[in-house]
C-alpha cells in the first residue's frame, strides 16, 4: 500500500514537472519571438536560440543608444533650438540653442519638469497642445518675452521674435524646433526705416519738379516742345504717389492708433460712396455693382481709411472685370445677426482672377503679380471690347489695404472664387 502511494505521488510529481516544463517552454518560445533571432535556417536548441536572441537584442540596444547619442550631439550643435515634451507637458530634453532662446537656465539635462514652470509662453503651450490633439505638424510665430525674477538684469533682457515648428511623436510626446527670427525682423525694420527716410527726402524735390513742369506747360507754345513736358508730368506724379503711398504705409505700420480716427460708420453708404467715386471708370466697361447684406450696419472705424480700402479693391475689380459684367459685395454678420461679433465682407468679380503662384504674395510691398496678368490687362486696353486704360500700379495698394484692416483689428485674405473664377477678397472686421 505504501509502495502504491509512493508511485502515485511520483507520477503526480513527474506530471506536474512536465506540465511546468511545457509551460516554461511555451513562455520561452513567446520571449524568443520578441527577440531578434538572426539565425534563420539554423536549427539550435531553444536555450541556445534564447541566448543568441538576448545577445542580439543587447547589441541592438547598444546601437540604438549610440545612435541616440549621435543624434543628440548633432542637435546640440544645430543652429535651431529643439525641445521635446512628454504627454504631461514635462520637458524631457532640449539642446543648447533652445536653452539660450527660451532662457532655460533653471533646467539641467536629465531633469524632468513641467515646461510651464520653465517657460511662460501661451503661444508655445497652445502650439504643443494643438499638435498633440490634432496629431499634425504645426507652426507658430510670436514675440517671446523672457521671464526674469532678477530686477537688476530685467532691463537688459530683449524680446525675441521666434518661429516654432512642432511635430507629433509617439506616446503623446511632441518635438518643437525653434528658430530665432529677430535678426530678420530687425533687418526688415532697418530696411523699412531706410526706405521711409529716403521717401521722405524725395517728396520735396519731386514736388518742386512737378511745379517746374506745370510752369513750363503754361509757357511753352510749340506743340513739339510741349508734348515732352506732357509726357514727363504723369511720370513725376506717379513717383510722387509712390512716395506718398510708402510713407503712408510706414506710418500705419509704426503706430496705427495715431493715424486712425475711429467713429461710428454706416457700412452700406460707405461702400456705395466709394462705388460712386469709381462709377465713371465702371461706366466705360458697363459694369454694375450688386450688394447683398444688411441695409443698415454700423462699424466703429476710420471712415476715410475704410473708404480707401474699398476704392482700392473696387478699382482692381473694375480693371480686371469683363465688359457688361457685375461686381458682387456680400456682407454677413457672424456668428448670428442678432449677436454679431464680426462682420465679413466679400468682394467678388468675374474677371481673370489671381494666378495661384501670386496668392501668397498679394499683400506684400511692391508685389505687382504675375506679368501675364498685367500684360493681359494692358493688352486688353487696345482691344475693341475694352477701352484704352493702361495703368501701372505702385505695388503698395494692397499692402496699404492689409495694414488698414489690421489696424482696425481685422483680417483680409485673397483667393479665387470657385464659381466665377474671378478674384475673391475676404475682409473680416470686428462688429461695433
Which grid coordinates are listed for 51?
A: 541566448
Distance CA 374, CA 372 (A): 5
Contact 202, 238 (CB under 8 A): no
A 10 A CB-CB count for 94 gives 25
Which grid coordinates are listed for 126?
A: 497652445
* Backbone φ and ψ of 343, nearest 5°: -115, 125
CA distance readout (Å), 119 to 89, 90, 104, 124, 285:
12, 11, 7, 9, 59
Nearest to 350 by CA among 271, 401, 418: 418
Q: What is the pLDDT of residue 258?
A: 73
CA distance readout (Å), 102 to 68, 114, 118:
24, 14, 9
Distance CA 353, CA 311 (A): 18
Which grid coordinates are listed for 258?
A: 495715431
Domains and CATH numbers, the chain: 76-180 (3.30.450.20), 184-254 (1.10.287.130), 258-430 (3.30.565.10)
Contact 318, 276 (CB under 8 A): no
Helix, strand, coil abundance in the chain, percent, nearest 5: 50, 20, 30
Task: Please identify which residue in the block is written with the cell numbers 450688386.
Answer: 290
Which grid coordinates are listed for 70?
A: 549621435
* Backbone φ and ψ of 212, nearest 5°: -65, -45
pLDDT in tens, the chain (432 residues): 777 787 788 788 888 888 887 777 777 677 666 666 654 445 556 667 777 777 777 888 888 888 878 877 887 878 899 999 999 999 998 998 999 899 888 788 778 888 988 898 999 999 999 999 999 999 999 999 887 655 555 556 678 999 999 999 999 999 999 999 999 989 888 887 887 888 888 888 999 999 988 888 888 877 777 888 888 888 888 888 888 888 888 888 777 767 788 999 999 999 999 999 999 999 999 999 999 999 999 999 999 999 999 999 999 999 999 999 999 999 999 887 666 788 999 999 999 899 988 888 899 887 766 554 444 444 444 333 433 323 345 678 898 999 999 999 999 999 999 999 999 999 999 986
Q: What is the pLDDT of residue 391?
A: 38
Q: What is the pLDDT of residue 86?
A: 94
Task: Please identify which residue in the block is written with the cell numbers 461702400.
Answer: 271
Question: Which residues are registered as beta bridge partners of 423?
Answer: 416
* Backbone φ and ψ of 44, nearest 5°: -135, 155
Question: Which residues are registered as beta bridge partners of 139?
Answer: 165
Contact 240, 206 (CB under 8 A): yes
Distance CA 198, CA 418 (A): 42
3-class DSSP state for residue 382? Answer: coil
Contact 302, 260 (CB under 8 A): yes
Q: Give the number of residues written for the chain.
A: 432
Report how far Cα 385 is from the mean position of its chain's Cα atoms: 40
The DSSP output letter for 321 is S
- Which residues are CB-contacts of 276 (< 8 A; sequence separation ≥ 6)? none
* Backbone φ and ψ of 233, nearest 5°: -60, -45
- Which residues are CB-contacts of 340 (< 8 A; sequence separation ≥ 6)? 333, 334, 431
Contact 108, 86 (CB under 8 A): no
CA distance readout (Å), 178 to 84, 90, 94:
11, 17, 11
Amino acid at each position: 500500500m505504501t509502495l502504491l502511494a509512493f508511485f502515485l505521488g511520483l507520477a503526480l510529481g513527474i506530471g506536474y514537472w512536465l506540465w511546468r516544463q511545457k509551460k516554461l517552454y511555451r513562455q520561452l518560445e513567446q520571449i524568443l519571438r520578441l527577440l531578434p533571432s538572426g539565425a534563420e535556417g539554423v536549427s539550435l536548441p531553444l536555450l541556445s536560440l534564447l541566448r543568441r536572441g538576448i545577445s542580439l537584442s543587447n547589441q541592438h540596444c547598444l546601437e540604438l543608444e549610440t545612435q541616440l547619442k549621435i543624434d543628440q550631439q548633432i542637435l546640440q550643435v544645430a543652429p535651431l533650438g529643439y525641445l521635446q515634451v512628454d504627454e504631461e507637458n514635462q520637458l524631457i530634453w532640449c539642446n543648447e540653442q533652445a536653452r539660450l532662446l527660451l532662457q532655460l537656465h533653471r533646467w539641467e539635462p536629465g531633469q524632468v519638469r513641467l515646461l510651464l514652470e520653465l517657460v511662460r509662453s501661451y503661444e508655445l503651450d497652445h502650439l504643443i497642445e494643438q499638435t498633440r490633439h490634432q496629431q499634425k505638424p504645426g507652426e507658430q510665430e510670436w514675440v517671446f518675452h523672457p521671464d526674469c525674477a532678477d530686477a537688476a538684469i530685467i532691463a537688459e533682457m530683449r524680446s525675441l521674435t521666434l518661429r516654432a515648428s512642432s511635430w507629433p511623436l509617439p506616446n503623446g510626446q511632441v518635438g518643437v524646433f525653434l528658430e530665432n527670427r529677430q535678426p530678420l525682423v530687425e533687418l526688415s525694420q532697418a530696411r523699412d526705416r531706410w526706405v521711409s527716410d529716403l521717401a521722405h527726402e524725395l517728396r520735396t524735390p519731386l514736388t518742386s519738379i512737378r511745379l517746374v513742369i506745370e510752369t513750363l506747360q503754361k509757357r511753352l507754345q510749340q506743340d513739339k516742345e510741349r508734348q515732352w513736358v506732357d509726357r514727363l508730368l504723369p511720370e513725376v506724379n506717379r513717383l510722387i504717389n509712390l512716395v506718398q503711398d510708402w510713407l503712408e504705409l510706414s506710418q500705419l505700420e509704426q503706430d496705427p492708433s495715431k493715424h486712425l480716427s475711429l467713429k461710428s460708420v454706416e457700412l452700406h453708404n460707405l461702400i456705395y460712396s466709394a462705388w460712386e467715386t469709381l462709377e465713371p471708370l465702371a461706366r466705360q466697361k458697363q459694369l454694375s455693382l450688386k450688394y447683398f447684406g444688411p441695409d443698415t450696419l454700423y462699424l466703429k472705424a476710420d471712415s476715410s481709411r475704410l473708404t480707401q480700402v474699398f476704392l482700392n479693391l473696387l478699382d482692381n475689380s473694375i480693371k480686371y472685370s469683363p465688359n457688361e459684367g457685375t461686381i458682387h459685395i456680400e456682407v454677413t454678420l457672424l456668428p448670428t445677426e442678432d449677436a454679431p461679433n464680426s462682420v465679413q465682407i466679400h468682394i467678388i468679380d468675374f474677371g481673370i482672377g489671381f494666378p495661384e503662384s501670386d496668392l501668397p504674395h498679394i499683400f506684400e510691398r511692391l508685389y505687382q503679380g504675375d506679368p501675364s496678368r498685367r500684360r493681359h490687362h494692358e493688352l486688353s486696353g487696345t482691344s475693341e471690347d475694352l477701352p484704352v486704360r493702361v495703368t501701372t500700379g505702385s505695388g503698395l495698394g494692397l499692402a496699404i489695404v492689409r495694414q488698414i484692416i489690421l489696424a482696425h483689428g481685422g483680417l483680409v485674405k485673397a483667393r479665387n472664387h470657385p464659381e466665377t473664377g474671378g478674384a475673391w477678397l475676404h475682409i473680416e472686421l470686428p462688429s461695433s
